[in-house]
Amino acid sequence: MTDNITDVITVEVAYALPQAQVIISLAVNSGTTALEAIELSGILQRFPAICLTESKIGIFGKIIHKETVLKPMDRVEIYRPLIANAKEARRLRAAAVKNKTAAKTGQPRHPNRT
């Protein structure tokens, strides 16, 4: 005899802004996907700026597909896009240090380079 009762699991949906982090815990049926958990959590209504077509999602820092089936105690994280390219940020910091050094000494750090 088989039970028609679906197992219920607990998962979390997380979203972070620079000034706040929200983690919503919810009970869902086993077999629920990451996308379904996000929709069930109500986080999209709370933060209408979230665009799931552009945002990546993950579980504990590992990128996943939106159709990934969740396991008990998974935390689905909605990632915001980066505001700066890491390579460009490093280049700008290096240029700032170079300019600061040149300003202190009154001459370029490497006089033979432009």
How does pLDDT run across 56-111, given as a tens digit for each residue?
999 999 999 999 999 999 999 999 887 777 787 788 888 888 877 766 666 655 55
Do 102 and 53 fall into the same domain?
no
pTM of the model: 0.69
Tokens 């629920």 locate to: 32
Strand partners, 76: 13, 59
Which H helix or E strand runs over 58?
strand 57-59
Instruction: Give a yes or no: residue 55 inside a domain.
Output: yes
Residues 36, 69 share a domain? yes
Residue type for 96, please? Answer: A
Report the C-alpha gap between 66 and 6 in whole angstroms: 22
Summarised one tens digit per residue, pLDDT across range 14-26 is 999 989 899 999 9
- 3 found inside a domain: no
Which of 51, 7, 52 has the alpha carbon at shortest distance from 31?
Answer: 7
Supply the range of the domain harboring residue 105: 83-114
Provide the domain count of the chain.
2
Is 1 part of a structural domain of the chain?
no
Q: Is residue 35 part of a domain?
A: yes
